[in-house]
Amino acid sequence: MGAVKTRMIPNLSPQQACDLHCDLVRWTARRLVACRLGPVRLAVTGDVSHPLFADCRDLGVNQVVEQEGGDLGERMYRALGAGLAHYRKVILVGSDCPELDRACLQQAVAALERVPVVLGPAADGGYVLIGAREISREIFREIDWGSSSVYARTVSRLEDAAISWEALPVKRDVDRPGDLAYWSRVKARGGLGGPA
């Protein structure tokens, strides 16, 4: 507790923020598995034997591994690289975008036939998805993760590195207290077992 969804505190207690995180991870795992577009690997910080991750395995997640690297950018770079060691295309998603569905992921897969990188921008200035068939560490460096400039800075890094990329439609994620009503509406529409 107190280590996840910290921007929700004090609107939520540390326990409520932790519960929110767990709900979102389960929601995302369920939806990714239901999409049946490929194996689902969950990269986590902390104890991979935590009951939350056992739940995810029960939902059909193929593998739970510990994240490697210092900041978020390094961890994402390493997760993509680990996937690309085994697969031609890899899509990395956050656990806090309940709108991710099969259609969105199929758009990402199709984009990766045309370009080496695809980004799914978030309404708050970050991104909810990055897909790659090749990746450069440079696009993850010197970015203020969690700020409203993450997407713009990443785009600038891609352009500086002369890496072709495409953007998907903007999605909303659940990062700040103002997003809680949105999350409640999403759950009410489909519950945690909602359609993928």
- The reported pLDDT for the residue numbered 193 is 43
Average pLDDT over residues 4-25: 95
Q: Dump pLDDT digits (tens) for 165-176.
A: 999 999 999 999
CATH code of the domain occupying 8-190: 3.90.550.10
Please write the tens of the pLDDT for every residue from 18-43: 999 999 999 999 999 999 999 999 99
Residue 187's closest CA among 20, 34, 44?
20
Query: Residues 28, 95: contact at Cβ < 8 Å?
Result: yes
Q: Which helix (H) or strand (E) holds 60?
A: none
For residue 190, name the pLDDT band (cuts at 50, 70, 90).
confident
Rounded to two decimals, what is the model's pTM? 0.92
Tokens of 11: 């609107």
The predicted structure's pLDDT at residue 195: 40
Mean pLDDT (the chain, rounded):
93
